[in-house]
Structure 1
Amino acid sequence: MRPADLKTTRRAVRFDRERLSIEDIVAIAHGEAGATLSDDPAFRAMIARGADFLDRLLREDGNIYGVTTGYGDSCTVNVPAELVAELPHHLYTYHGCGLGEYFDPAQTRAILAARLASLSKGYSGVSVELLLQITRLLDAGLLPLIPSEGSVGASGDLTPLSYLAAVLCGEREVWRDGAQVPAAEALRAAGIAPLRLRPKEGLAIMNGTAVMTALACLAFDRAEYLTRLCTRITAMASYTLDGNAHHFDEVLFAAKPHAGMQNVAAWLRSDLPTEQWERNGKRLQDRYSIRCAPHVIGVLADALPFFRSSIENELNSANDNPLIDPDGERVLHGGHFYGGHIAFAMDGMKNAVANLADLLDRQMALMVDSRYNHGLPANLSGASGPRAAINHGLKALQISVSAWTAEALKLTMPASVFSRSTECHNQDKVSMGTIAARDCLRVLQLTEQVVAALLITVRQGVWLRQQANPELPPHAAITRMLAELGADVAPVQEDRRLEPDLRLLIERIRAKAWELYV
């Protein structure tokens, strides 16, 4: 489909004062939806009232934080009237000191959408034109190059969001069709006039939690899918190990009323009918990585509603400072730029997700070890006869899984407890929310690598178990999953390089290629 056709067929997410969902931001991030500013006259009049009130206040009173004063600890510095118009441009200029990898295009679209959401609440004193300029960038595919490092998460994401402010004004660089282009050139080619920021607009763009919130939306989307995929892998691992399906009994789980954990157990019951278990020689109690899998995956499953609430509340908040009450005509000084809720959610999420990696790492260790896999070949090698001596199956893959798991576990130290006093002790207690969100995304990446390796493992394990116990075919859901995996990954009969298979499976995971437990 051509880009022009895509714009006409994808859904539009409307930005106004109505509540947005994580899914709205994720859809914009992945190009599945566009962003449109509400054209409702009452909404646009409400936005304009805030900017007009600030203009009048500036004329009549002449003393507004961040408009006629310096920023942060410099709030005691008065700005001469003739220099007020230059102040917002100095704000984004001196914050242009980010480093690290640039956020990728999907993350950048999410950041723009999250900032637009906050400014659309009508408490930031910005113009309608500023909001429209953000939608123009998204619509034209002009994405600011935003370095990922340099935010302490209060006063919000100042340094990374300065790159958005600069691009709105035709400065710095953008991604355009995968290439880095000067923003002035890109805006000119798209027919977009650079903004000249109004007095508070630089502060309104930068002083907020848009970066950490956008990353949290993307993290939630990935974590939610992993709860289902790790459950399906567990079912396939249990079948591979000739396990005990009674471990997931409904009455058993009714005795421990964690709803998310109970859902995971129910999913496992749907994959592992207990009637297939009734035969001699089975182990009475499977090892913990199988028997306790609902309890491990269930922690994340039960935490997801809390994470959603925290992330969506932040997404739907006005989170800059000061806020402007356009109807009561007041300037309200506070600390809504503080990202503590996102920091806590991301620290919690990365812990729960890393535990999924650890669970699957233990499951793989059982499956590849001939002492524990109940009669299957060592390392799940598919070679037979004389050639079995030179084939090593999944031996190296298991080492890589251990490496990825260890790195994920290492990153579970909470970022939110590492507050640093900054900016002449004005920002003396900060959230570290953006660091927590970046850590969470890295843990998700590592865990998805583990999941990709386990998909190869259970595909191999189920295939070998079917040969070893043909009288015990897997349930339909596992059979279907095996066929779907088989379209991408052949059985490992002769040693081969598995990196291409892993990379393909990671793409499938990110695309949510398998429909699970509908």
Structure 2
Amino acid sequence: MAEHDLKDAEVGADAVVIGGRRLTIEDVVAVARHGAPVRLSDAPEWRERIARGAEFLRRHLAAGATVYGVNTGYGDACVVDVPMALVEALPLQLTRYHGCGMGEHLDDVSALAVIAARLNSLAYGLSGVRPVLLERLADLINHRVLPRIPAEGSVGASGDLTPLSYVAAALAGERDVRFRGALCEARDAWRALDREPLVLAPKEGLALMNGTAVMTGLACLAFTRAAQLARLAARLTALATVALDGRAAHFDALIFEAKPHAGQGDAAGWIRADLAGRPDTSGHRLQDRYSIRCAPHVIGVLCDALTWMRRDIENELNSANDNPLIDPDGERVLHGGNFYGGHIAFAMDGLKTAVANLADLMDRQLALLVDDKFNNGLPRNLTGASAARAPVNHGFKAVQISSSAWTAEALKHTMPASVFSRSTEAHNQDKVSMGTIAARDCLRVLQLTEQVAAAHALATVQAARLRLRGNAVTVIPAPLHDFMAEVATSSPFVDEDRALEQELRAMTERIAAGDFIANRHGDKS
């Protein structure tokens, strides 16, 4: 992703507006993947409500009220009273002792998605934070001051405390950030922007950290990549049907009207459109094998699941999910558990299973293509070598072995994370969601499945070219012809064996970026 460092005046009409409106998954992806800036709403009623919540909390504390995490200790230490002389110091203490994350750091795209999710939640108006805190979160996005967030250390309730401490610390000028293409201390990035690090007000450290922004931001990215894969798997099924000299009749609309799962019908419709103009007869089998014939039934499960997953991800994205909540209208402090990430955990556990099934489907199709016992006359392992050189060429043999390995690993990761709740923090957090682990698992399954799709794409295009070479009158409909040409820009025909690693890596990156499929409703324009 290109580096961005926008001047405030450059945040214009293309910005994603935060505050007083419902964000979509696509809004988060626009910010995280496509460089869209954010802008806080100009609506006076929204801005006044944000300020009113912070002011009520200030008055409530001045009147001697006890508010969890503001003038008490955290978690099990909620029974510990914090003297007023130490209340101002408490938010920074929270960020510091949670600075114990481990594992790989989130990449820039993921970090942006996390910040966007946290900003939108706090902008709901029930967190008691000042407008300046929202402005500084917007600065993190617009000036690409990106906290180095370790991926590991959250149990998903009381929210994503440890990873989000790195966002809070960055606002306060502590720890490392990525800024203008390099690592630097957060305070130095703020100095370069002619700003002082933010002094966190009471509850602002807790408001930043006690929520589901990491799992939710990652879930937005996972959702988009899964939707892209569903469409790509359908296209590869269509091309594999051509390459195997299979039957287009398996995707007749009446079959899918007779079993009316909407996503299954969508998948069949995509395959049918890609095969339009191809004869419905085949000289080889009355019925193609299941990985071809039942592909819409496999892809359709993911398509249908995405409908309820969108609902749950966007509800979480557009929620106040910290604790306590500060009601600026009724002037109440509400202690609850909105930081629990169960809906995201369940969605991500389900999504990784549906996506891994795509990996398995594509791997089975690839296995048919390379095996001359099942590929209806194509060369063994799809080698494009001449007859004289065929004995020493092995085409896509190793690619299929690697694809099988990636598929097996993807399937291994489908064990649900949400059922592995652990009692933590002196049995205060005694039931937790594991939502962030589920989201990270899902992203790993997506990466592996995209690798399988890359292998499948290269092999299937090779197979279709070989089918044409053996039968020049083979009908390749226009969408598939265009797809083959696009793939060829990353990987030309394999005649003599060569190392395909770099071509597979390039294809995998393009698939993850959505280069071949724009969305589930149509092709890339």
> What is the TM-score when the length of structure 2 is the normalising length?
0.96
Q: Tell me which of 11, 16, 32 is aligned to 1:13.
A: 16
Q: CA deviation at 1:424?
A: 0.7
Is contact 1:173-1:181 (8 Å) kept? yes
Is contact 2:102-2:153 (8 Å) kept? yes
Amino acid across the alignment from 1:482: M
Report the equivalent of 1:195. 198
Report the equivalent of 2:35. 32
Is contact 1:157-1:212 (8 Å) kept? yes
Report the equivalent of 2:332. 330
Encode CA deviations 1:257-281: one digit per residue, 9 max, x unaligned: 10000111111111224751335x3
Amino acid across the alignment from 1:264: A
Q: Tell me which of 290, 293, 296 is aligned to 1:291.
A: 293
Report the equivalent of 2:441. 439
Report the equivalent of 1:131. 134
Matched residues in 2 for 1:428 and 1:270: separation?
Answer: 52
Report the equivalent of 2:384. 382
Aligned residue for 1:11, secondary structure, equals coil
- Alignment map for 1:198-277 (pairs within 5 Å): 198-273=201-276, 276-277=279-280
Q: Tell me which of 451, 454, 457 is aligned to 1:455.
A: 457
- Alignment map for 1:385-464 (pairs within 5 Å): 385-464=387-466
Amino acid across the alignment from 2:183: Q
The 3 A distance-change label for structure 1 pair 368 and 9 is: farther
Is contact 1:121-1:318 (8 Å) kept? yes
Matched residues in 2 for 1:307 and 1:137: separation?
Answer: 28
Report the equivalent of 2:354. 352
Residue 105 in structure 1 maps to residue 108 in structure 2: yes
Matched residues in 1 for 2:11 and 2:89: separation?
Answer: 39
Matched residues in 2 for 1:447 and 1:399: separation?
Answer: 14
Q: CA deviation at 1:483?
A: 1.5
Question: Bigger CA drift: 228-237 or 187-196?
Answer: 187-196
Amino acid across the alignment from 2:356: A
Encode CA deviations 1:298-354: one digit per residue, 9 max, x unaligned: 100111111100000000000000001101000011100000000000000000000
Matched residues in 1 for 2:472 and 2:482: separation?
Answer: 17
Report the equivalent of 2:76. 73
The 3 A distance-change label for structure 1 pair 179 and 430 is: same
Matched residues in 1 for 2:11 and 2:339: separation?
Answer: 36
The 3 A distance-change label for structure 1 pair 504 and 133 is: same
Matched residues in 2 for 1:182 and 1:273: separation?
Answer: 57
Is contact 1:382-1:492 (8 Å) kept? yes
Matched residues in 2 for 1:3 and 1:83: separation?
Answer: 39
Matched residues in 2 for 1:138 and 1:192: separation?
Answer: 15
> What is the TM-score when the length of structure 1 is the normalising length?
0.97
Identity %: 60
Amino acid across the alignment from 1:296: V
Amino acid across the alignment from 1:491: F
Encode CA deviations 1:196-244: one digit per residue, 9 max, x unaligned: 1111111100000000000000000100111100100011111111111
The 3 A distance-change label for structure 1 pair 466 and 200 is: same
Return 5+ residue gaps in structure 2 as ranges: none
Report the equivalent of 1:116. 119
Matched residues in 2 for 1:512 and 1:109: separation?
Answer: 18
The 3 A distance-change label for structure 1 pair 399 and 74 is: same
Amino acid across the alignment from 1:290: I
Tell me the matched-pair count.
517
The 3 A distance-change label for structure 1 pair 10 and 353 is: farther
Report the equivalent of 2:166. 163
Matched residues in 2 for 1:136 and 1:192: separation?
Answer: 10
Q: CA deviation at 1:17?
A: 2.3
Q: CA deviation at 1:393?
A: 0.3
User: RMSD of the alignment, in Å?
Assistant: 1.5
Q: Tell me which of 164, 184, 195 is aligned to 2:187.
A: 184
Q: Tell me which of 146, 151, 162 is aligned to 2:149.
A: 146
Is contact 1:10-1:33 (8 Å) kept? no
Q: CA deviation at 1:2?
A: 9.2
Aligned residue for 2:272, secondary structure, equals helix
Residue 471 in structure 1 maps to residue 473 in structure 2: yes
Matched residues in 2 for 1:256 and 1:484: separation?
Answer: 34
Q: Tell me which of 487, 509, 512 is aligned to 1:507.
A: 509
